[in-house]
Amino acid sequence: KNQVEQSPQSLIILEGKNCTLQCNYTVSPFSNLRWYKQDTGRGPVSLTIMTFSENTKSNGRYTATLDADTKQSSLHITASQLSDSASYICVVSPGREYGNKLVFGAGTILRVKS
Amino acid sequence: DGGITQSPKYLFRKEGQNVTLSCEQNLNHDAMYWYRQDPGQGLRLIYYSQIVNDFQKGDIAEGYSVSREKKESFPLTVTSAQKNPTAFYLCASSISSGSYNEQFFGPGTRLTVL
């Protein structure tokens, strides 16, 4: 069964600190992996998209890594800010053979406190 | 939220009633999607449309219906047959249904059954 598992479920960090969120997936075949940020009560916003051949991708203070061999990805947030408080969702696309239907993780809820 | 609007933001429904959630996009995207989000779970696909006048069932289509008469509009009707409709509903669109195409999400509609 195609699944995306994220850890931890929730995380609290102090403003200015770094953190890393984890994503493990069993989706096969694999086309690409995405990280989204979702503020409470809002729609998700894309942070990064990585294909099989990409190991790392950055978007400002957000850096995503991908190990397609072990089927793991991480999202590293540097110098956290209060505005980083949100749910971070890992999403895997199995590709056209599966109608391009995305498989979503349940998300990691991050709270940055001052 | 890009160029995708959803209305209303909050919706209350009595049991036995049908309700329709609006989704409009001005991004000239061919593909549109409806997802349901429940606490602690990943987004689940209800219906998707790759082109005008065509739509496909997603993983949890029972109790829902859609139409795609115009490129920019993809309304979702939650029927009385949906036994547990209380959830956060998200509409998304992409340029096409290609596996690498980013999906842009609307701000969501929170539906509560009274």
pLDDT digits 0-9 by tens, A51-106:
989 999 999 999 999 999 999 999 999 999 999 999 999 999 987 766 668 999 99
| Residue B9 C-alpha, separation from nearest chain A C-alpha, in angstroms | 9
- Residue A70's contacts (CB-CB under 8 Å, 6 or more residues apart) are none
CB contact under 8 A, B1 and A4: no
> What is the Cα–Cα distance from A38 to A95, expressed in whole angstroms?
23
Strands B4-7 and A62-67: unpaired
pLDDT at A111: 98
pLDDT at A99: 63
% of chain A residues with pLDDT over 90:
84
The stretches in chain B having pLDDT less than 50 are 1
Residues of B in contact with A26 (CB under 8 A): none
What are the pLDDT digits (tens) for A2-27?
799 999 999 999 999 999 999 999 98
| Residue B93 C-alpha, separation from nearest chain A C-alpha, in angstroms | 12
pLDDT at B97: 73
pLDDT at A43: 95
Burial of residue A53 (number of CB atoms within 10 Å: 0-12, 13-18, 19+): exposed
Count of A-B CB contacts under 8 Å: 62
Using 50, 70 and 90 to split pLDDT, how confident is the model at A34? very high
Interface test with A, best of B49, B96, B103 (most A CBs within 10 A): B103
